[in-house]
Amino acid sequence: MKRLNTDVLASLPAGVAVPAYDRKAVKVGIVHLGIGAFHRAHQAVYTDDVLAKGATEWGYCSVDLLGPDVRDRLVPQDTLYSVSALSGQGMKTRIIGSIAEIMVGPEDPEALLKRMEDPKVRIVSITVTEKGYCHDPASGDLNMAHPGIAADLKTPGRPTTIVGYLVEALRRRRAAGTAPFTVMSCDNLFSNGIIAKRVVTTFADAIDADLGKWVRDNVAFPCTMVDRITPSTTPDDIAKVEAALGVHDAWPIVCEPFTQWVIEDNFPTGRPAWETAGAEMVKEVEPFEFMKLRLLNGSHSALSYLGTLAGYQTIAECMADPAYVRFMRRLMDEDVTPTLHMPAGVDVGAYKDSLVERFINPAIKHRTTQIAMDGSQKLPQRFCGTVRGRLAAGGSVSHLALAVAAWMRYVTGIDEKGHAITVSDPMAARLKEIAAKAGRNPEAQVKGYLGVSEIFGQDLIAARPFVEQVTGWLASLYAKGAQATVAEHYGK
Ligand code: CS2
């Protein structure tokens, strides 16, 4: 089987769109930290459309900060890859060419820093998931005790974290008299630009207060809201795409058709015309971030914990259970919607309907265990802010209390049949220990978990009605299991 590469583009099946521009003319204008599936399904696709309109100065140097795997798969295919949108109507595939170069951070940090110093690079964007910011998830402050941060403070010229890379590259640009690049976070964090700015300036301050001030005064950190459901690629996906293309793509993307990108328009040194590719350039992203993080990601996380416990492997399997759909609807309508303040013209009702439709899409095999990962980093923006908002307004948060209880039940590390759950979370060991100490006593367990201030702040443990609701739900999860609990309360 032939490999996907430049030479085979002309002979791909009709209907498969290929880059409509001369890739050799493309220059790197953006360094993107985090070459995971989401970057390739989202920003790289919008930018591919912009390049096709002739803006050849905006190619990507996309960076893997973990290891060489993606680079080793994509370089033999001229850094081309396919994106296949899957729905009930079938599969629509296109080839993306906007990644002009791939670097592997740990292999050669100096080469990456040189690339980030290049005056032609005017934007550094980021998708490294929540934990990549090395912050305290509840407060958003940089965690100075983070091993990566401690290491980077010791040897700032040889960074390992995104924070270390950004600060060292900005320091060098300042020293060379080069204008700073704009830092654009594209991760699912509330006020992601503000969090990026906070961790970068705190680190810069710790190195040199003047540098910190310069960063604060001169570097733009626009906020963004990003959306496209993109499960990790499976061997099955690779085979399916190969059958459709007639050539082998070693690392294809398979995702939903829907895509959305809302960007705060704050790029002092220029940017691609992403609006020509469908992005929404706005003054204020926050309301959109709230809506997406609390409705989409909040529902995702809630379903992932209740789903994993019930043995549902994918979100679509959860949505095949009518009680789970009713739970999601009530969580969105009764707990989340009252906390949203959307600009005129945004139809939240239609947005919620579309989420239900997107989650039902049986062609998308989005694994509940994938979404359940890193809950300690996700809960603050997906659940806790909503809980606070509702409690302050004197409202109830019953459905979210069930979601929080399901997370607690999940991170104990033992499932409903007594089998071990592999909890993938930077705080997994501590979370397991809390469960071990509390035993199967819901009250003690809830107290132990809500006492983790990095996730729940200092206040939620003192919010009596919330604590009682979570405890009640956790008792039911132990006594009856997740499926029966959801069926009993949301069955009709
Ligand atoms: C998901 C997100 O894995 C997760 O936690 O909730 O990756 C989600 O699919 C995206 O944010 C959708 O845009």
- Residue located nearest, by CA, to atom 3 of ligand 1: 371
Q: Is the CB of 227 under 6 A from ligand 1?
A: yes
- Residue located nearest, by CA, to atom 9 of ligand 1: 229
How far, in Å, from the CA of 228 to the mean position of ligand 1?
A: 8
List C-alpha distances in Å: 267 to 26, 61, 184, 218: 21, 19, 9, 11
In angstroms, the CA 146 to CA 133 distance is 10
Between 298-310 and 482-490, two packed helices, what is the crossing angle to 10 degrees?
Answer: 120
Q: Is the CB of 368 under 6 A from ligand 1?
A: no
Query: How many residues in total does the chain contain?
Result: 492
| Ligand 1 site-directed mutation target among 371, 376, 377, 425, most atoms within 8 Å of CB | 371
Tell me if 261 sits within 8 A of 272, measured CB to CB: no
Q: Is the CB of 377 under 6 A from ligand 1?
A: no
| Ligand 1 site-directed mutation target among 188, 308, 318, most atoms within 8 Å of CB | 188
How far, in Å, from the CA of 342 to the mean position of ligand 1?
A: 21
CA dihedral 177, 184, 222, 171 (to 10 degrees): -30
How far, in Å, from the CA of 297 to the mean position of ligand 1?
A: 6
CA 217 to chain centre: 28
Residues 6+ apart with CB under 8 A from 400: 298, 302, 331, 335, 336, 383, 386, 387, 390
Q: What are 312's two structure tokens?
A: 């549902």
Q: Is the CB of 228 under 6 A from ligand 1?
A: yes
In angstroms, the CA 268 to CA 196 distance is 17
How far, in Å, from the CA of 370 to the mean position of ligand 1?
A: 9
Residues 6+ apart with CB under 8 A from 479: none
pLDDT in tens, the chain (492 residues): 999 999 999 999 999 999 999 999 999 999 999 999 999 999 999 999 999 999 999 999 999 999 999 999 999 999 999 999 999 889 999 999 999 999 999 999 999 999 999 999 999 999 999 999 999 999 999 999 999 999 999 999 999 999 999 999 999 999 999 999 999 999 999 999 999 999 999 999 999 999 999 999 999 999 999 999 999 999 999 999 999 999 999 999 999 999 999 999 999 999 999 999 999 999 999 999 999 999 999 999 999 999 999 999 999 999 999 999 999 999 999 999 999 999 999 999 999 999 999 999 999 999 999 999 999 999 999 999 999 999 999 999 999 999 999 999 999 999 999 999 999 999 999 999 999 999 999 999 999 999 999 999 999 999 999 999 999 999 999 999 999 999 999 997
The ligand 1 atom nearest the CA atom of 370: 3
Residue labelled with tokens 């061997």: 235
The helix or strand, by DSSP H or E, that contains position 51, with its residue range, turns out to be helix 43-52
Q: Could you tell me which of 375, 302, 377 has the C-alpha nearest to residue 336?
A: 302
Task: Determine the longest span between alpha carbons in the chain, in angstroms.
Answer: 66
Tell me if 251 sits within 8 A of 23, measured CB to CB: no
Domains in the chain, ordered, with CATH? 6-282 (3.40.50.720), 286-490 (1.10.1040.10)
In angstroms, the CA 390 to CA 19 distance is 48
The ligand 1 atom nearest the CA atom of 188: 11
Task: Spell out a b/e string for 129-158, using b for 16 or more CB atoms within 10 Å of the CB, else e.
Answer: bbbbbbbbbbebebbeebebbeebbeebee
Residue labelled with tokens 């690339």: 115
Q: Identify the pLDDT of residue 492.
A: 79
Q: Is the CB of 371 under 6 A from ligand 1?
A: yes
> CA-based angle 418:423:429, to the nearest 5?
100
The helix or strand, by DSSP H or E, that contains position 261, with its residue range, turns out to be strand 260-264
In angstroms, the CA 216 to CA 213 distance is 5
- Residue located nearest, by CA, to atom 4 of ligand 1: 371
Which amino acid makes up residue 125? Answer: S
| Ligand 1 site-directed mutation target among 291, 300, 303, most atoms within 8 Å of CB | 300
